[in-house]
Amino acid sequence: MKNSNKKYKFYLFPHIYYAKSKSNLFLLYNTKTGLCIESESSVCLEVIERMYVPANLGIAELNNNEIQEKSLSSFIKRVIEYEFGNLIEQNELGSDTMFVNFIPILNLQKDIERLKVEGKFTIGEDLLTYINELNIYVNNSCELECPNCDIYYKQTKSCYKTTSINNLSIDLIRALFENLKYSLLKKINIMGGDISKYNDLKRLLQLIDEYKFDFEFHIWAHYQNFSKNEFFLSDNTNLINDIIVSFPIEKEFEDFLINNETNNIFHFLIENESQYREIEKRFSHLNQYDIVPIYTGNNKLFFQEYICMEKEDILANIISFRTIFCNQKLNSNNFGKLYLFPDGTVKSNMNTDAIGNLNSITLLEIIYNELDKNTAWRKIRDNEPCNNCVFQYLCPPPSNYEFVMNKNNLCNLKTIF
Ligand code: SF4
Ligand code: SF4
């Protein structure tokens, strides 16, 4: 770095992701090691930006004076030391050498907005390949009175009830299974209300038996409904039982939960730390269970402490370029999921508007509507404050928590409550 006439080529390796905020803080992220370099230096930023000018082919040309600048010099040292990129003296390449550095750029052939512009976005059988999870609410009646019935289902998979009682047409369910038989869908969740109150339960079980080689069926029920009904307790090997456990746990059901040695999957919905400790103490012996935090509006501190992400949480695992590109285009929490309600209405997320009704339009039209209107499948972090944050596409996509909190971020890096 001494000869004043020397020229250099500075570049980043193709597996380095670059992001900058509106306040000109920028981040380089190594998608192979998970390391990152953050900087607020306007000199360094200007050099990095140069690489992204298409005509510069991924390279920033620097002269000797430039690389003597203190902040740039130490930045370049860090980039080389962390194996994020390299600095080559022009002479080392020889005068005839054409040096090109390929910077990864998102270019999706099937980008919906692009297909729309090109007039190629049409309804076709291939739309079925987008569905990866189907959730069917066969009814919405239940005799229990769980205190937070009206909030669970908006945040996680759960039963729910309404005052108007509906039962989903069994013929509609059959038509749907037949339609999806040749799709890529493998798993179907069946939920209520209390499914044992479904008016066509017998025919539903026959249908499940008929399609057991096409799909894996999961039946979701609250533990109180589950443990009281013979239907759930019968040894039906075609079904996987997903049991929802909300607090407080009623005394009379404790034995049923504690001594459950089957392959049932338990989902504990918790609202505070003491409920978490109770599960760890009494239920951690269960074969399969998970713990789902529920936001009530009164447990902000619990969420701030345990759920809202810190920088370390975001960077805890190595994030691939594939995931980053994915986060720029679609919401992996929502993409491919459909929710069918007892009246035939379909949504892409429990918190969003309906995208059609299977009594009046086809499944393909419903998928088309979602791709066109984007109620949930392609909701990304493109709003304040995330669109002004270098972690915008490193963070997981918006979840149901953001929906119910009416916030755009789920972190402690920017104000949330
Ligand atoms: S069991 Fe489910 S549907 Fe019934 S009241 Fe409780 S949360 Fe609501
Ligand atoms: S949630 Fe949004 S604001 Fe918070 S770190 Fe992630 S991208 Fe940034």
Distance 398 CA to ligand 2 centre (A): 10
pLDDT score of 252:
83
- Rounded Cα–Cα distance for residues 215 and 213 (Å): 6
Distance 287 CA to ligand 1 centre (A): 24
- Rounded Cα–Cα distance for residues 212 and 199 (Å): 21
Q: Is 135 in the pocket of ligand 2 (CB under 6 A)?
A: no
What order of strands is seen across the sheet that includes strand 85-89? 60-63, 7-12, 85-89
Question: How does 169-206 read in b/e, with b if 16+ C-beta sit within 10 Å?
Answer: bbeebbebbeebeebebeebbbbbbbbbbbebbeebbe
Closest-lying ligand to the alpha carbon of 137?
Answer: 1
3-state SS, 176-193, equals HHHHHCCCCCCEEEEECC
User: Which residue is closest in CA terms to ligand 1's atom 2?
Assistant: 159
Distance 151 CA to ligand 2 centre (A): 24
The residues lining ligand 1, judged by C-beta closer than 6 Å to any ligand atom, are: 142, 144-146, 149, 152, 159-161, 193, 222, 225
User: Which residue is closest in CA terms to ligand 1's atom 6?
Assistant: 146
| Domain 8-93 indexed as CATH 3.90.930 | yes
Top mutation candidate among 138, 141, 146 for ligand 1, by most atoms within 8 Å of CB? 146
Distance 409 CA to ligand 2 centre (A): 5
**Residue 303 identity (one-letter amino acid):** F
pLDDT score of 1:
47
Q: Is 308 in the pocket of ligand 2 (CB under 6 A)?
A: no
Instruction: Say whether the peptide bond before residue 396 is cis (omega within 30 degrees of 0).
Output: no
CB 245 within 8 A of CB 264: no
pLDDT score of 121:
85
Q: Is 393 in the pocket of ligand 2 (CB under 6 A)?
A: no
Residue 256: name the closest of 248, 219, 264 by CA: 264
Closest-lying ligand to the alpha carbon of 307?
Answer: 2
**Residue 279 identity (one-letter amino acid):** I
pLDDT score of 116:
83
Give, for 368, the enclosing helix (H) or strand (E): helix 363-373
Query: Can you name the CATH fold of 125-405?
Result: TIM Barrel (3.20.20)
For the chain, domain boundaries: 8-93, 125-405
pLDDT score of 114:
82
Closest-lying ligand to the alpha carbon of 244?
Answer: 1
- HSE-up of residue 146 (Cα within 13 Å, Cβ side): 27
Residue 29, both tokens = 């992220």
Nearest ligand 1 atom to the CA of 161 is 3
Helix axes 201-210, 170-180, angle to 10 degrees: 10
- Rounded Cα–Cα distance for residues 337 and 70 (Å): 52
Each of the 417 residues of the chain gets a pLDDT tens digit; together they read 445 678 999 999 999 999 999 888 999 999 999 999 999 999 999 999 999 999 999 999 999 999 999 999 999 999 999 999 999 998 766 655 566 667 666 665 568 888 888 888 888 888 999 999 999 999 999 999 999 999 999 999 999 999 988 999 999 999 999 999 989 999 999 999 999 999 999 999 999 999 999 999 999 999 999 887 776 656 666 788 999 999 999 888 888 888 876 778 999 999 999 999 999 999 999 989 999 999 999 999 999 999 999 999 999 999 999 999 999 999 999 999 999 999 999 999 999 999 999 999 999 999 999 999 999 999 999 999 999 999 999 999 999 999 999 999 999 999 888
Q: Is 307 in the pocket of ligand 2 (CB under 6 A)?
A: no
Nearest ligand 1 atom to the CA of 142 is 4
pLDDT score of 18:
97
CA distances to 265, 268, 276 from 290, rounded to whole Å, are 8, 6, 11
Q: Is 76 in the pocket of ligand 2 (CB under 6 A)?
A: no
- Rounded Cα–Cα distance for residues 341 and 77 (Å): 58
Distance 145 CA to ligand 1 centre (A): 6
Neighbours of 47 (CB within 10 A): 20
Top mutation candidate among 144, 267, 292 for ligand 1, by most atoms within 8 Å of CB? 144
- Rounded Cα–Cα distance for residues 294 and 290 (Å): 13
Closest-lying ligand to the alpha carbon of 410?
Answer: 2
Radius of gyration over every alpha carbon of the chain, rounded to an integer in angstroms: 27
